[in-house]
Structure 1
Amino acid sequence: MVLNPAVPLHWIDTDVVFRLGLAAVLGLLLGLDRELKGHSAGLRTHGIVCFTAAVMTVSAIALYHQLATEGTRMDPLRIFEGTGTFVGIIAAGLIVVSKGEVRNLTTAVHIWLAAIIGIACGAGQWPLVLVAALVAVVMLTVLGVAEERWLKHRERGSGTDAE
């Protein structure tokens, strides 16, 4: 079996450590919202998904640069295909339809978001990581609080008025 040359441990790159570390931290922060609300797929799930996507991305990019030669047809973008398939399987298992009501849809999308932010961390796309993380926090936390405060309150209020 022919393998690529191993990378010695003393070659640990601080950029790689930063990319993976940031992915883990952002994944944990994304999961914090779910954890605080008592939903499934909390801290550990989001942290692991985001970190794993970053590891997979760093590995794919490194292998591409390590093994690519003139005439090879390697495609590091297949990482998105693999990640999308895997996260889709996880998300599909989370989504439950019961009595006409869909549950865990936000959790499933949240996991997909963690994977994509992990890929961006692994690729070192820092402006994209920053914008995605900020938008995610606003959409998931701030809008979640606003929804709970005003929209759910209005639904409950209209139900009691009708009685």
Structure 2
Amino acid sequence: MDSLLHEVMNTIMAEFSDLPNGAEVTRVVLRLGIAAMLGGLLGYEREFRGKAAGMRTHMLVALGAAMFVLVPIQAGLTDAEISRVVQGVIAGVGFLCAGTIIKHGHDGEVHGLTTAAGLWMTAAIGVAAGLGRESTAILSAILAYAILHIVPKLAHQYHQAQEGSKQDTEGQ
């Protein structure tokens, strides 16, 4: 009876599930989990700075991008077909990002470019994770986090040093 139940369960999993075995379940869970966590890392940084697109937005963008490439891989699409899917993801996320860019007033001051670029990068990280390029996704997320978190501090220090030297020159 136990072997019959086991056989029935295996048949059900093979016939009605896109995750027919433990290896495939593990692969999907890891790829989607990595995409969501890396998106969350970048989103946390943006949320910490009070930006509109925060942790949940970045997690969803990364997870969605990973899903858009993972499902076609599972379906057995060719590399050329997956390439077209990736092109669609890039264009779609670009449209989403365009909505985050705002031009203010007559002076033409533009806001949201970094948010848009961050969302675009988050989608790329999700695509990498979905394609099984987890190390590349992790390295890219670390570099993006450094750009978002460390570079502004370095730029601020540089500008303060420039102001200090300018005041020293004017005082002479």
TM interval, shorter chain, is 0.7 to 0.9
Gaps of 5+ in 2: 1-14
Pick which of 76-85 and 18-27 moved more. 76-85
Is 1:37 the counterpart of 2:49? The answer is yes
Q: Is the 8 A contact 2:38 2:138 kept in 1?
A: no
Q: Which ranges of 4 or more aligned residues in structure 1 deviate by more than 6 Å?
A: 154-158
Q: Which of these residues, 102, 126, 146, is aligned with residue 154 of structure 2?
A: 146
1:25 counterpart residue number: 37
The residue that corresponds to 1:53 in the other structure is 65
CA contact (8 A) 2:98 2:116 kept: yes
Counterpart-to-counterpart distance in 1, 2:99 and 2:163: 30
CA deviation after TM superposition for structure 1 residue 134, in Å: 1.7
Q: Which residue of 2 aligns with 1:137?
A: 145
Residue in 2 that maps onto 1:62:
74
Unaligned runs of 5+ residues in structure 1 are none
Q: Which amino acid aligns with 1:129?
A: A
Task: Give the TM-score taking structure 1 as reference length.
Answer: 0.80
- The structure carrying a bigger helix percent of its residues is 2
Percent identity among equivalent residues?
35
Query: In the TM superposition, what is the alpha-carbon distance from 1:155 to its structure 2 partner?
Result: 8.4
Render the CA deviation track for 1:4-42: whole Å, top value 9, x for unaligned: x74256646111101100110100101011101101101
Q: 107-116 or 118-127, which moves further after superposition?
A: 118-127
Paired position in structure 2 for 1:7 = 17
The corresponding residue for 1:112 is 120
Q: Please give the alpha-carbon distance, in whole angstroms, between the structure 1 residues aligned to 2:161 and 2:33.
A: 41
